[in-house]
Chain A
Amino acid sequence: MTGVTEISIAEGETFDEFFAERFAPLSRLAYLLTGSSSTADELAQDACEQVFRRWSDITHPRTYARMAVVNAARSWGRHRTVVERTPGDVPRSSELDADAVAVREVLEQLPERQREVLVLRFYADMKIDDIATDLDTPVGTVKSLIHRGLARLQEELS
């Protein structure tokens, strides 16, 4: 992986410390990917459980957990056969600034892969090469997805 932003397990870091620090960010990542608060916690919990089971084997638990959330959000999105949005899941627009509202509305409408790329780039602050590696997608495709997504967001933000 190039442009690695991942920080390996700090020497002596315990899973408890990882969990305490990473659960909330993972939940927020899941929220951006799914738009569902209740599902976000669940997906973050599952990701942490996967990390816990492999704690002694994985060297980059944050990357591992992040991709576990992305994959789980993808599966959730494909099979949410029942309730699209739990009442109370979505913050009222009045509680968000205009840009956040626009971002939310665009994310809801984007295809899953494009949504993943944008969230990983602009929320998780990942480099394009890293996104391409983690999503197993050509760099050019990632760039294209980002450009098209930004174009869509630019329309909405205007």
Chain B
Amino acid sequence: MNNDRPDIGPHIRPDIEQRVAAGMHSLAASHTPAPHPASPVTDTGNPRRWMLAAAASVVLIAGVGAMLVASNRSTNTTDDVADQLPQPAPTVVSDPSESETVLPDVEPRLYSETPLADDIVPAIVPPPAEPINGFDLDDDTSGWTRGAENDSVFALMADGTVIGAVDVFDSAAPWDAIAEGQDVTLIDGHEVIRVEGSDERGFFVRVGDGSRAVIDTSPPAQAVPIDTDIAALVAQIGDDPLDAFVDNEQFVRVPVDSQYGRSIGYGTQGAVQLIQVRLEADSDDDSIDLVEQVYQLLLDGSEADRSSSFVLVSPVDLVVIIASDDEQLATATSNLQLVTLEASGADFSNRRGFAADSVDARGEPSWGRWQVANGSSGDDTDCRYFEVRVWGIDGPARGYSDCGEGNPVRPDGSEVYCVVLDVEVVGAVVGATAEPAFAVGDDITGLAVEVDDTTGGEFGKHTTFRVVQTDPGANIRSATVLVDGVEIDCTG
């Protein structure tokens, strides 16, 4: 070994930096930004998709459909599987507690007489490309910090045809937190706050001390008018339970189980995408037709240059197939099969984002919710993170600490978590034996610490803190947070 020189890793050739820079600029140039983005000057409504259900996150990221998915894993039992696949081929995967699982030789099938079980998915056999983005939405525990329940989609109808879709969900956000600083008006006697931004249009409605969102997040081409149609939906729904809604000529509640959604994409070029939609149990042909209309409407708005089709693979499972062209679509449709998760080739276990396996601590101060949980994120299956939701219809919404990174463990064994949002820092001390003291650094101006009462309950003792701007010009990222005099890094 040459001890004259430290080991600094491989030598970088002189031309590499230049090639990397050129490659990045070439890659960046291949992306064509929106030619006419909506300026915040003219779209001053809520810029933040803060409370939209997981369904909406699918729309925003995938541009597919507002009602595709929500969060919880299906509660189907493995008993269902035996009914789905041809006999005598057994399909029930052996006891997961066994150290070695021997997969049965599953014969593919296109239609199941019963709802698909958790371990059966629609897939293309043979796959057109490597199945790279299988996912299974399973964040029922982390959904607590979403604060959205009863996700529903209402179709706007005209002469029996779907012409728009509106998301509705009940929010955990207290009305007082939502309404602070906002203009509150009345629709049919219901207090509402109007929201109109580039990505969402609608109202937050007061429901007792809580709130309900009635929001359209569909592409602009399918935008539902706020002051007529969405306002009409608000008047019809009011503060009644959503399942009490009676369909009429103007609005129909789309019979999709929003607690369920799975998908597989093929190839890095996104050649083919399969999305499994779970219909409600009593869906008939008219219901299926309605769901297909809603999907087609959204696909027309967001995936206009793609081909798509629908295949019913069980009485309640509809598969949306999206492909680059008609030829790929035809091939994918003819090769669609029902297979086990393993046989699909998609690694669902690694595609759950922050699917929380366990929650270590939670708090619900006046400004929002937070939790410390363990779960998985991508390849990281031992992810411990701090997740926060701040109530409001604009401004900071959600934040997350780095996954798997250690947090300071204090002398009494308690831990500190924090995260920087747009205009504030929020955090918690979990498990402290005495109430901690909080401060910002001596040289910091324009920022102040607010401390929430220490609380106990199911998750033990914790104290929540929040650093806010007392001067709107103060840089929150410069905040130095001291907990019992020890500086905490909240920047992640």
A27 touches B473 (CB 8 A): no
Q: Give A154 to B403 CA distance when docked, in angstroms.
A: 28
A78/B400 in contact, CB under 8 A: yes
A136 touches B31 (CB 8 A): no
The answer on a CB contact under 8 Å between B26 and A123 is no
With A78-B377, A154-B10 as contacts: A54 and B352 at CB distance below 8 Å: no
In the complex, the chain B residue whose C-beta lies closest to that of A104 is B27
A41 engages B34 (CB within 8 Å): yes
A69 contacts B by Cβ under 8 Å: no
Q: Is the CB of A32 within 8 A of B24?
A: yes
Q: Residue on A with the closest CB to B39?
A: A19
Question: Given the complex, which residues of B lie within 8 Å of A45, measured CB to CB?
Answer: 37-38, 40, 47, 198
A contact residues around B47 at 8 Å (CB): 45-46, 49
Specify which chain A residues have a CB less than 8 angstroms from the CB of B271 in the assembled complex: 87
Chain A residue numbers with a CB within 8 Å of B273 are 83, 87
Q: Please, which residues of chain B bring their CB within 8 A of the CB of A54?
A: 472-473
Specify which of B9, B132, B305, B489 lies most central, judged by the most chain A CB atoms within 10 Å of its CB. B9
Tell me the smallest distance from the CB of B167 to a CB of chain A, in Å.
Answer: 15
Residues of B near A83 (CB, < 8 A) are 58, 61-62, 64, 133, 135, 263, 265, 273
Shortest Cβ distance from residue B351 to the other chain A in the assembled complex, whole angstroms: 7
Is A110 an interface position by the 8 A CB rule? Answer: no
Contact B30 A84, beta carbon cutoff 8 Å: no
* Cα–Cα distance between A24 and B265 once the two chains are bound (Å): 28
> Which residues of A are found within 8 Å of B492, using beta-carbon distances?
74
Taking a contact as CB atoms under 8 Å apart, the answer to whether A122 and B20 are in contact is yes
Counting chain B CB atoms within 10 Å of each CB, the highest count among A23, A81, A88 belongs to: A81
Q: Pick the residue among B10, B23, B39, B48 that contacts A99 (CB under 8 A).
A: B23
| Contact (Cβ within 8 A) B61 A86 | yes
> Interface of chain A, helix or strand or loop or mixed?
helix
> Given known contacts A32-B24, A99-B23, A103-B20, is B31 in contact with A82 (CB within 8 Å)?
no
- Taking CB atoms and an 8 Å cut-off, the chain A residues in 70-119 that contact chain B are 71, 74-76, 78-92, 95-97, 99-100, 102-104, 118-119
B61–A80 touching, CB < 8 Å: yes
Q: Which of A76, A84, A125 contacts B351 (CB 8 A)?
A: A84
Q: In the bound complex, do residue B41 and residue A85 qualify as a contact, i.e. CB atoms below 8 Å apart?
A: no
B269:A41 contact, CB within 8 angstroms: no
Let me know if B27 and A96 touch, CB within 8 A: yes
Q: CB of B54 within 8 A of chain A? A: yes
Q: How far is the CA of A121 from the CA of B42 in the complex (A)?
A: 34
Is residue B324 contacting chain A, with contact meaning CB distance below 8 A?
yes
Interface hits, A18-59 → B, CB 8 Å = 19, 23-24, 27-29, 31-32, 36-42, 44-46, 48-50, 52-54, 57-58
Closest to A125 in B: B21
From A149, which residue of chain B is reached at the shortest CB distance?
B20
Which A residues are CB-close (under 8 A) to B324?
87-88
- B398 — which chain A residues lie within 8 A by C-beta? 75
Contacts of A19 in B (CB 8 A): 37, 39-41
Q: Are B265 and A50 in contact (CB under 8 A)?
A: no
- B39 and A81 form a contact (CB under 8 A): no
The answer to whether A82 and B58 have CB atoms under 8 Å apart is: yes
Min CB distance B96 to A, Å, is: 23
Q: Which residues of A contact B31 (CB under 8 A)?
A: 27-28, 31, 37, 40, 91
Which one, A16, A29, A38, A81, contacts B63 given CB within 8 A? A38
Q: How far is the CB of A137 from chain B (nearest CB, A)?
A: 9
Q: Are A96 and B352 in contact (CB under 8 A)?
A: no
- The answer on a CB contact under 8 Å between A154 and B13 is yes
Please encode chain A, from 108 to 150, with 1 for each CB lying within 8 Å of some chain B CB and 0 for all others.
0000000000110011010000000000100000000001101
Instruction: Write the A1-28 contact mask toward B (1 if CB under 8 angstroms, else 0).
Output: 0000000000000011001000110011
Query: Whole-angstrom distance from the CB of A6 to the nearest CB of chain B?
Result: 14
A119 touches B473 (CB 8 A): no
Indicate whether A86 sits within 8 Å of B270 (C-beta atoms), given known contacts A122-B17, A154-B10.
yes
Is there an interface contact between A52 and B40, defined as CB atoms closer than 8 Å? yes
Interface residues of B in 138-158 (CB under 8 A from A): 139
Known A19-B41, A87-B265, A88-B270; judge A75-B8 contact (CB<8 A): no
Which A residues are in CB contact (< 8 Å) with B289?
A: none
Most buried by B among A68, A86, A123: A86
Query: Once bound together, how far apart are the Cα atoms of A4 and B211, in whole Å?
Result: 46
* Minimum CB distance partner of A97 in chain B: B26
> In the complex, how many angstroms separate the beta carbon of A74 from the nearest chain B beta carbon?
8
Given A97-B26, A104-B27, A82:B20 Cβ within 8 A: no
| Extra pairs beyond A45-B38, A83-B273 (19, CB < 8 Å) | A31-B27, A32-B28, A40-B33, A41-B34, A45-B198, A49-B40, A53-B40, A80-B353, A82-B58, A85-B133, A88-B303, A96-B30, A100-B27, A103-B20, A103-B26, A122-B17, A123-B21, A148-B9, A150-B12
A-B contact pairs, 12 of them (CB 8 A): A27-B33, A52-B40, A85-B265, A86-B270, A87-B265, A100-B26, A102-B23, A150-B12, A150-B20, A151-B9, A154-B16, A157-B20
Query: Using a CB–CB distance below 8 Å, which chain A residues touch chain B?
Result: 15-16, 19, 23-24, 27-29, 31-32, 36-42, 44-46, 48-50, 52-54, 57-58, 67-68, 71, 74-76, 78-92, 95-97, 99-100, 102-104, 118-119, 122-123, 125, 136, 147-148, 150-151, 153-154, 157
Interface residues of B (CB under 8 A from A): 8-10, 12-13, 16-17, 19-34, 37-41, 47-48, 54, 57-58, 60-64, 69, 132-133, 135, 137, 139, 198-199, 261, 263, 265, 268-273, 303, 305-306, 322, 324, 351-355, 377, 398-400, 403, 420, 422, 472-473, 477, 489, 491-492
Enumerate the 3 nearest inter-chain pairs by beta-carbon distance, A residue then B residue, closest first: A87-B270, A81-B353, A27-B33
